[in-house]
Chain A
Amino acid sequence: MASPCCFHLPAGTSPDVIDAMEGEVRRIEAKYSRYRDDSVLSDINQRAGQKVGLDNETLWLINYACACFEQSDGLFDISSGVLRQAWDFRAGQLPSEATLARLLPRIGLSRIEISEAHLTMPPDMELDLGGIGKEYAVDAAAAIAREAGINRGVVDLGGDLCVLGPHADGSPWQLGVRHPRDTENAIASLPVYQGGMASSGDYERFFEKDGKRYCHLLNPESGFPVDYWASVTVVAPSCLLAGTLSTIAMLKEEAGEEWLRAQQVSALLIRPDLSLLSLTDR
């Protein structure tokens, strides 16, 4: 994984458990990486247009992605990765209308078909599980720790977190929320006893042009980056849910606030002017 990963586990935790957790993260990374030709994801993409048999785990992840697609009214779409061809964040160039017009019709998760553990997607479609794979790996590593009887500690994969349980004295973990304009530092901290916390923000990949910031979170209908929030951090029962909720809130832009309130989760929303909006669960 490209981001720093660490496990905060109680002293005396068996190295075997830590190895198993690390192995699980690597396994998931290798299985769903779009950079590896031998990954399950690459295989699915190479066989677009055909009926592809899915193993349980992949079937489950794609089903989950479909639920995200529906719950976000199509904003959270694992087939929107083709837009990366239009947005080169290193070059810092805006895409041409023609490029976007060519790519946008290729997006739309409603066009895939899943039945009896088989997936059929249109030949021009490409899936990218980057938006959920890392969060899922966090939960999977945490599950191994719990299985081994560890009920304290934090699994942290580059800011996507899962808290196994509170500190020994019963107090919650104070988890730092990354400062969107100074990403080495925290802008605030949130108390978490157990469960997941994840952030989504405009600081991961972006460029600025004529004073405007263009980030990697793209609206699959317009093909353009969202810009209403600088970042959204959500605390939820699992890291996967936290990650999904934060991304959907980012993509929903202004409506994200009301939508997050309806989910009754704790969240910290940061506006581009760095003012904070804190939502607490009831």
Chain B
Amino acid sequence: MKKTMNSLAALAAAAAPLAGQAEPVPTEQAVSYRFSQYQEADIPESRTFSDETARYSIDIHQLGYRRPLAGQWYLNSELQYETMSGASPMQTYKNSEGQSAVLMSGASIDERRIDLKLAPTRYFEDSVDGTLGGLLAISTENDYDSVAVGAEGSLNLMNKHTTLMGSLTLSYDVLAPTDEFLSEARRRADGRVKRSVSLYEGVSQVINKNLALQVGAGFTRLSGYLSDPYKLDDHRPGERSQYLIDARARHYFAVGGGAALHLDYRFYTDSWGIYSNTLETRWAQALNAGRFSFKLIPSLRYYRQTQASFYRLTPAEAGEYSSSDYRLSSYGAFNVGLAASVGYGRWQISGDIQQYMSSEDMMLLQTPDDEAPALVDYSIVSLGIEYKTL
């Protein structure tokens, strides 16, 4: 370190890393509960085949528990229970007027899903500074079972200024579509399996005491039955390779009780011909008043993607891949959100509201010729409470 005129600044900088560091095994134990409601907006009436316009609605209950285990181990766990109801698009097609229209499933869906996640982490502090963690996730619903195992690690170097991180996740899903008498596709999918292998490597670097950057790359390989048995004429390749590169920046500001500007970018492409870009920015503001501590995080995200090579609204030849799933079409989307929390002693109450809007016009550049009326708008409102013991 160079000798500076202002020694206070130099000493404060030397003292700074520990404040943000403190990454020995967390000692707190906490229980949390969160309720979220996911609500999709109605589909435009003029574009549906039947007069069914109501879409999906999901109620989500999440129970979280985390605590130190023996030695250098710490456990994070979460139990999630969801109830889903409503309808989803079965097919988008060109109607006799050449307009794209949607065939909805009818309000036939009424499902429950239970999801359990356990993630133990081992902290290393002595000769190696880092963490090694495991993940076990099991999810079950009446037409879909999934199990995933993973491992992730982080390694701090250069006095914690550089952190390398990596993760590997494997998943194994089994399909069992309901009402299989309704279509050949549902019968075909019954008992079929979907596998995935996912790898992510990243490095984060502290540039100075106010700025940190992270870049990473990921690869996911999916194989098995990747078509959607609930959609009509949905025939997708049995393999999909996904590649992503992401970059994140965090800049801290001494405003109020401390604030940070987040800027995230993600580039994605896959073997189905989709390219996507995501840009997200958030402002995280902390405020303190007496024994209360407040956090306020407004966010804005923009997403755009190009369509899969086999996305089509007209019937395909036998043996050809095809799908009219709006998630494989060309479109753009905006998401605005506001998260807030109040802490008092060991209690914390938090709320979050997100509004997502998507449409083919929001691609902004190169708007596609085909409309995708099934593109969804949705909102998520959630409310949570957490109690911590030291």
Given known contacts A16-B389, A265-B8, A241 and B291 CB-to-CB distance under 8 angstroms: no
- Encoded as 1 (CB less than 8 Å from any B CB) or 0, chain A from 160 to 172 comes to 0000010010000
* Stretch of A52-60, A81-89, A180-188, A215-223 that contacts chain B: A52-60
Contact of B159 among A59, A70, A236, A238 (CB under 8 A): A59
Residue-by-residue, is A205-225 near B (CB-CB < 8 Å gives 1, otherwise 0)?
000000000000000000000
B318: A residues at CB distance < 8 A = none
Closest Cβ–Cβ distance, residue B161 to chain A (whole Å): 12
A236 to B12, CA, bound (A): 10
A238 with B6, Cβ < 8 A, contacts A53-B126, A53-B127 known: no
Q: Contact string, A124-162, partner B, CB cutoff 8 A, digits 1/0?
A: 000000000000000000011001111110000000000
| B-side contacts of A264, CB under 8 Å | 6, 8
Determine if A50 is an interface residue (Cβ-Cβ < 8 Å).
no
Q: Does B7 contact A (CB under 8 A)?
A: yes
B14 interface neighbour in A63, A147, A245, A263, Cβ under 8 Å: A63
Which of these binds chain A: B16-24, B228-236, B267-275? B16-24
Looking at B32-40, B169-177, B340-348, the stretch in contact with chain A turns out to be: B340-348
A248: Cβ under 8 A from any B Cβ: yes
Contacting pair B291 A149 (CB below 8 A):
yes
Q: Tell me which of B125, B159, B291, B293 has the highest count of chain A C-beta atoms within 10 A of its own C-beta.
A: B291
Q: Which of B1, B6, B126 contacts A67 (CB 8 A)?
A: B1
Query: A70-B3, A245-B8 in contact; A63/B159 too (CB < 8 A)?
Result: yes
| Other-chain residue from B3, B22, B125 in contact with A71 (beta carbon distance below 8 A) | B3
Number of A-B contacts (CB under 8 A): 104
The residue that B127 contacts in the complex, of A63, A117, A147, with Cβ under 8 A, is A117
25 A/B residue pairs, CB under 8 Å, sorted by A: A10-B291, A14-B345, A16-B390, A17-B390, A20-B27, A55-B126, A56-B160, A57-B18, A57-B24, A60-B17, A67-B13, A67-B14, A67-B15, A70-B1, A70-B3, A117-B127, A147-B390, A148-B345, A149-B346, A151-B292, A152-B290, A244-B11, A248-B7, A263-B7, A264-B6
A56 in complex: contacting residue of B21, B345, B346, CB < 8 Å: B21
Number of interface residues of B (CB under 8 A): 39
Q: Would A60 and B18 count as touching, CB distance under 8 A?
A: yes
Q: Give chain B interface residues in 269-299, CB to chain A under 8 Å.
A: 288-293
> Residue A262 at the B interface, CB < 8 A?
yes
Tell me if A241 and B288 are in contact (CB < 8 A): no
* Interface positions of B (Cβ within 8 A of A): 1, 3-8, 10-15, 17-19, 21-24, 27, 125-127, 129, 159-160, 288-293, 343-346, 389-390
Interface bin, chain A = 35 or more
Chain B residues with Cβ below 8 Å from A149 are: 291-293, 343-346
Chain B residues with CB under 8 Å of A248's CB are 7
**Contact among A55, A151, A236, A240 with B288 in the assembled complex (CB-CB below 8 Å):** A151
Q: List the 8 closest A-B pairs by CB distance, nearest first.
A: A67-B14, A71-B7, A263-B8, A20-B390, A149-B345, A64-B14, A53-B127, A60-B18
A68 at the binding interface (Cβ < 8 Å): yes
The minimal Cβ–Cβ distance linking B13 to chain A, given in whole angstroms, is 8
- When chains A and B are docked, how far (Å) is the Cα of A73 from the Cα of B2? 11
Task: List the A residue with the shortest CB-CB distance to B158.
Answer: A116
A71-B346 in contact given A56-B23, A56-B24 (Cβ < 8 Å)? no
Residues on A with beta carbons closer than 8 Å to the beta carbon of B5: 262
Given contacts A60-B18, A64-B14, A245-B8, 5 further A-B contacts (CB under 8 A): A10-B291, A67-B15, A70-B3, A165-B288, A241-B11
Identify the closest chain A residue to B343 (Cβ). Answer: A149
Residues of B within 8 A of A176 (CB): none
B289 to chain A, nearest CB (A): 8
Q: Tell me if A237 counts as interface (CB < 8 A to partner B).
A: yes
B24 proximity list for chain A (CB < 8 A): 56-57
Q: How far is the CB of B62 from chain A (nearest CB, A)?
A: 23
**A19 → B minimal CB distance (Å):** 8
